[in-house]
Structure 1
Amino acid sequence: MKEKDAKGTVENAKQADLAHNKSDGTDQFMTTAQGLKVNDDNNSLKAGDRGPSLLEDFILREKITHFDHERIPERIVHARGSAAHGYFQPNAEAAKYSKAGFLQDPNSTTPVFVRFSTVAGFRGSTDMARDVRGFAVKFYTQEGNFDLVGNNIPIFFIQDAAKFPDLVHAVKPEPHHEMPQAASAHDTFWDFISLMPESMHMIMWAMSDRAIPRSYRMMEGFGVHTFRLINEKNESSFVKFHWKPKLGTHAVVWDEAVKISGNDPDFHRRDLWEAIDGGIFPEWELGVQVIPEADEHKFDFDLLDPTKIVPEELVPVTIIGKMVLNRNPDNFFAETEQVAFHPGHIVPGIDFTNDPLLQGRLFSYTDTQLSRLGSPNFHEIPINRTIAPMHNHQRDGHMRQEINVGRVSYHPNSLGGGCPYQAKIAEGGFASFNERIDAKKVRERSESFADHFSQAKLFYESQTAVEQDHIINALRFELSKVEVPAIRERMLGLLSQVDQKLAESVALVLGIPVPKSPEKPMNHGVGADHVGKQEPKPIVKYAQTSDALSMIKNKLNSGTIESRMVAFLCADGVDATSVNKMKDALTKEGAVVKIIGTNSTAIKTADGKELKVDHNILTVSSVLFDAVFIPSGKQSIDALKDQEKIPEILNDAFKHCKVIGAEKEGIDLLNEVKAINNISEQKLAEHGIITKDANNQNLASDFINAMAQHRFWIREKPLKI
């Protein structure tokens, strides 16, 4: 009888187990790996709703630990990257804000290693995916390594590190068939976003042209989080870090990005490598927005919220130095692949805040390196080694390189003379800022994090009409690929809270109406037990727009054409004078000229001389260049008319709003672009079509001035959907 009862109990347990563990993942309580039911999966445990995350949060640690160790050896995010060596030099302003040693002397330089990357794609994906770009800088300072680990977008999708694994799982290829690669146009990503209103500001940036930069050298970088700066008087200020590119901020258009991926998926990598290899060294200014401690709560947003910017009109950016990249890596794997960045690598004069996303990253990055690089000794890999003296009692372990001598490996000690000893603050010892904390342990977010739409609206309304059209078209593309109607409807509801016309423009292509009463997804500003019981904070209407948020209006775009690539379309019989005069003028301004010929070696000019060819016309596309020029020479033009690639090159250059120039007989080749025939001769220059007949003597200067405008967006008007 007992045996039967026992069997029955086991059988009942199995049935119960099956009932609560359906293979499709439905109808289950969320639990930890140990089976503990989770009450709140949206917020990390903090000391107060604006306080620091607590190490005792075993739920967060388990979740992130599992996430960090999911894949080896490829990075889980930022897998595809490119990097370079260089230096940083502070100016006289820097020392006012921080006691960090590398910011004190304007005559000093600090070595740096910088890695740029896409976020979502695998290592073998394309450079030109619509994606955030990583912008991580390792400063090798005399006080130890400082890593400024940021992106080319100043905010992020989520407010709390507890949601980071969920975000990445959602944007990665769907697990049942591992598609799509390096793309966000699929159901799982937009399902997640449609339930996370805090992501709406980031979505505006990610759907803008910021997500398809022309070059790593032509994009801004941001520290994303709010950090602290500590000066010599031990006074603390909040700070946002900005990298401002010397070449301005520029992007490609979406159709161009798609075609570049087919022509050269290594477009950004190649661009960075060839620029440095050719002596065109990329340069950025380091700027800071410094907010005094007393002003922490004076804004309509929370400084600790990583989904918010500090508009530059409220707090101007102060430049404190410059960074120049002047050397390519010697070995991709040893340097670019093995470099290990960590936002927790700081030096005296720089400290953290209680940003809940930053707090989670401080744990995650070390944990990730243990998995990816296989050892706690990853700091001994040459690219990661500090140039500061390193003395501690950490010993042994997998892949240990340091040969420690002596019998002492503990502290305190007398056998080693007490060495290495602890440094006092006056001796450069690091001490965390003495911030007072007095709060209860909670899994909540401050109500000051609850406004999810004001800055999304600010960003959208700050764009030019052209840039707004690009955002609309990006959302149309992305959401048209979403298969579940409910997800599309939720997204339209969220978009309508950013801008009603934006939502209506997207809805028009989706074929569904904008919801009259938008669904209110989870309010992550409060604990899970309060979901649905509290309305979000009313939207704060910003009274101004910000030119700094628009790539077209941004004052960084000074009109330089330095390092811009110009394709010269040539064949046998090309006029050497036409080629050389334009080439000399362009190279004097720092542009790079590439001769595109009808073979891969050389062509003959009209006077019988040899002209070296950089690329065969069969292997290139206009999407790989910033402008196109057609030199004169009747024989050359007649030969080019027989090339099948010519209509494609010229029509794409026109479609993508690039400058097209032609001299004398070269003007005849423009007939391949039907749209040009609809523009009156007097309006050609206004559309970026620069021509020279026998009477125009200003072709080179006109062409250079046109290139300085980057694109001629007026051409998009007849091309709009």
Structure 2
Amino acid sequence: MSQKMTTASGIPVADNQNSLTAGPRGPVLLQDFHLIEKLQHFNRERIPERVVHAKGSGAYGTFTVTHDISKYTKAKLFSSIGKQTAAFVRFSTVGGEKGSADTERDPRGFAVRFYTEEGNWDLVGNNTPTFFLKDGIKFPDFIHTQKRDPQTNLKSPTAMFDFWSKAPESLHQVTILFSDRGTPDGYRFMDGFGSHTFSLINDGGERVYVKWHLKTQLGIRNLSAADAVRLAGEDPDYAQRDLFGAIASGDFPRWDVKVQVATEQQLADWEARTGWNPFDLTKVWPHGDFPLIPVGVLELNRNPVNYHAEVEQAALSPANVVPGMGFSPDKMLQARLFAYHDAQLYRVGTNHQHLPVNAPRCPFHNQQRDGSMAFANGGAEQNFAAVQAGGSAPYGMGHGEPPLALSGGAGRYDGRGQEDDFTQAGNLFRLFSQQEKLNLFENLAVPMSQVSDEIIQRQLAQFDRADPAYGAGVRAALKSRGRNID
């Protein structure tokens, strides 16, 4: 038997098909509260969409420890082999709106929440180990170039390549984006990365730096540019349909979770040898220098029951780390530690952590009170913290981590012209097969053929510095589209 319909206040609804009117032809009476409540709530069904990562899919699962990394971290979720932790994952595109196609050429968000016994750990990353920027102050400007032109309301290749051609640091990620990897075949067949450099702290208070990798057990599969465009028209929700359907049928996707680990001295020695800043988000740590260490397996095995409540209102933040984990001097990470939580406060509300998908699954206590939707508001408990006569933990977040040594004067440092933004992009290019290179050239030529000669010349100069064959290949692809750039 279906449940009896009521208003939001629990009052029975006698008729959900006909408004209360003066006579059979109306007009409608304002006293029809059920009608008014229904229309008011309908007008407010949509919360602000994410400014990035608006189109997404989510699922629940488990993380199982398969290898011991307790010498690096005291985080309890890694305390024993075989230990399981509940998890939630949200996949997404980055630049498109909620109604955009799943197969657009775009990085993919890969955000994992671990509901640990010490609080929520959020590993909020992408399907790429790098990003376009190394400093968060450029992020709003960059995203504006990926959104719509303020006059035409159209996507603008000119804005994109005008920005990229003046920001050589973006070349590594641009090369990934316009390669075959720029159009993944759904979410199950791609890797995930924490991307940033984080840190781990062990019981002895020793810190190592770490990069997180999630390697799909299904193998990487990408769509051709033609198939991505075709699916955008035929099935714009392709990735959502594939993920939901696979889990519903019991075909659970899995990822091997691995880490790269380095001490501060090892990173200093590596930087002295290579010239690369190990905390630069536009760079990778080569596996030959820092091998992958296995940690565990992430499996997704349960679909959400309600998309809005469990996926749209999911609010993850890289600032959410548990004891035994920490951050790094990565400038982009430092910006995201503020920006993500601030976005959730605006988008979902000041008490968004009370929602079931966001709430920790361990006891929690603080003096935060009131605000909109404060339904877990502390009751009659004291709403302030008494000053501790014995003082407090002196470092970091008070979890026993060592102090982070800082040096240098406060200033705005511009490394352009002094940092190598080309070698790693060239190394990636040289890894591609001949067909992958041809695809890269064509994928770049399509949007670049729509921009001015000046912008094309600036961008080609970056390709040349990465590898002369890179620039030559894009020139040939542009020439085939009527743009002969010498």
> TM-score when scaled to structure 1?
0.58
Query: Taking structure 1 as reference, are residues 319 and 445 closer, same or farther at Cα in structure 2, changes over 3 Å only?
Result: farther
Instruction: Pick the aligned partner of 1:498 from 435, 455, 466.
Output: 466
Q: Which residue of 1 aligns with 2:262?
A: 291
Residue 439 of structure 1, CA deviation = 2.5
Q: Does 1:329 align with 2:304?
A: yes
Cα distance in 2 between the residues matched to 1:453 and 1:295: 23
Instruction: Pick the aligned partner of 2:253 from 277, 282, 298.
Output: 282
Query: Taking structure 1 as reference, are residues 198 and 88 closer, same or farther at Cα in structure 2, changes over 3 Å only?
Result: same
Q: Does 1:170 align with 2:145?
A: yes
Asked if the contact 2:102–2:236 (Cα under 8 Å) also holds between the matched residues in 1, the reply is yes
Residue 120 of structure 1, CA deviation = 0.4
| Equivalent position SS for 1:367 | helix
Instruction: Pick the aligned partner of 2:284 from 306, 309, 313.
Output: 309
Cα distance in 2 between the residues matched to 1:224 and 1:115: 16
Asked if the contact 2:56–2:90 (Cα under 8 Å) also holds between the matched residues in 1, the reply is yes
Residue 462 of structure 1, CA deviation = 1.0
Cα distance in 2 between the residues matched to 1:72 and 1:440: 42
Instruction: Pick the aligned partner of 2:428 from 459, 470, 482.
Output: 459
Q: Does 1:269 align with 2:240?
A: yes
Alignment of 1:631-650 (within 5 A): none
| Equivalent position SS for 2:120 | strand
Q: Does 1:390 align with 2:361?
A: no
Cα distance in 2 between the residues matched to 1:155 and 1:178: 29
Residue 485 of structure 1, CA deviation = 2.0
| Equivalent position SS for 2:73 | coil
Residue 404 of structure 1, CA deviation = 1.8
Query: Taking structure 1 as reference, are residues 82 and 268 closer, same or farther at Cα in structure 2, changes over 3 Å only?
Result: same
Q: Which residue of 1 aligns with 2:221?
A: 250
Alignment of 1:661-680 (within 5 A): none
Letter in 2 for 1:173: R
Cα distance in 2 between the residues matched to 1:257 and 1:394: 46
Alignment of 1:476-515 (within 5 A): 476-482=445-451, 484-511=452-479
Cα distance in 2 between the residues matched to 1:275 and 1:246: 14
Cα distance in 1 between the residues matched to 2:181 and 2:402: 35
* CA RMSD after TM alignment: 2.2
Alignment of 1:514-593 (within 5 A): none
- Give unmatched runs, 5+ long, in structure 2: 1-45
Asked if the contact 1:227–1:240 (Cα under 8 Å) also holds between the matched residues in 2, the reply is yes
Cα distance in 1 between the residues matched to 2:199 and 2:248: 37
Residue 471 of structure 1, CA deviation = 0.9
Cα distance in 1 between the residues matched to 2:302 and 2:63: 13
Cα distance in 2 between the residues matched to 1:394 and 1:216: 37
Q: Which residue of 2 aligns with 1:406?
A: 380
Letter in 1 for 2:188: R
Asked if the contact 1:95–1:104 (Cα under 8 Å) also holds between the matched residues in 2, the reply is yes
Q: Which residue of 2 aligns with 1:141?
A: 116
Asked if the contact 1:85–1:113 (Cα under 8 Å) also holds between the matched residues in 2, the reply is yes
Q: Which residue of 1 aligns with 2:324?
A: 349
- Give unmatched runs, 5+ long, in structure 1: 1-70, 516-721
Asked if the contact 1:496–1:503 (Cα under 8 Å) also holds between the matched residues in 2, the reply is yes
**Structure of greater Rg:** 1
Cα distance in 1 between the residues matched to 2:147 and 2:93: 13
Cα distance in 2 between the residues matched to 1:372 and 1:160: 24
Residue 410 of structure 1, CA deviation = 1.0
Q: Which residue of 2 aligns with 1:521?
A: none
- Provide Cα deviations, 1:48-75, integer angstroms capped at 9, x if missing partner: xxxxxxxxxxxxxxxxxxxxxxx96000
| Equivalent position SS for 1:136 | strand
Instruction: Pick the aligned partner of 1:377 from 347, 351, 371.
Output: 351
Asked if the contact 1:72–1:371 (Cα under 8 Å) also holds between the matched residues in 2, the reply is no
Q: Does 1:218 align with 2:189?
A: yes
* Length, aligned pairs only: 432
Letter in 2 for 1:221: G
- Provide Cα deviations, 1:648-690, integer angstroms capped at 9, x if missing partner: xxxxxxxxxxxxxxxxxxxxxxxxxxxxxxxxxxxxxxxxxxx
Cα distance in 2 between the residues matched to 1:204 and 1:433: 38
Cα distance in 1 between the residues matched to 2:47 and 2:284: 34
- Provide Cα deviations, 1:477-511, integer angstroms capped at 9, x if missing partner: 121232x2211121111111112222122222434
Residue 298 of structure 1, CA deviation = 2.1
Q: Which residue of 2 aligns with 1:20?
A: none
Residue 514 of structure 1, CA deviation = 5.5
Letter in 2 for 1:359: Q
Asked if the contact 2:369–2:377 (Cα under 8 Å) also holds between the matched residues in 1, the reply is no
Residue 449 of structure 1, CA deviation = 7.1
Alignment of 1:36-185 (within 5 A): 73-180=48-155
Calculate percent identity across the aligned residue pairs: 39
Cα distance in 2 between the residues matched to 1:476 and 1:432: 49
Cα distance in 1 between the residues matched to 2:136 and 2:226: 34
Asked if the contact 1:305–1:449 (Cα under 8 Å) also holds between the matched residues in 2, the reply is no
Q: Which residue of 2 aligns with 1:340?
A: 315
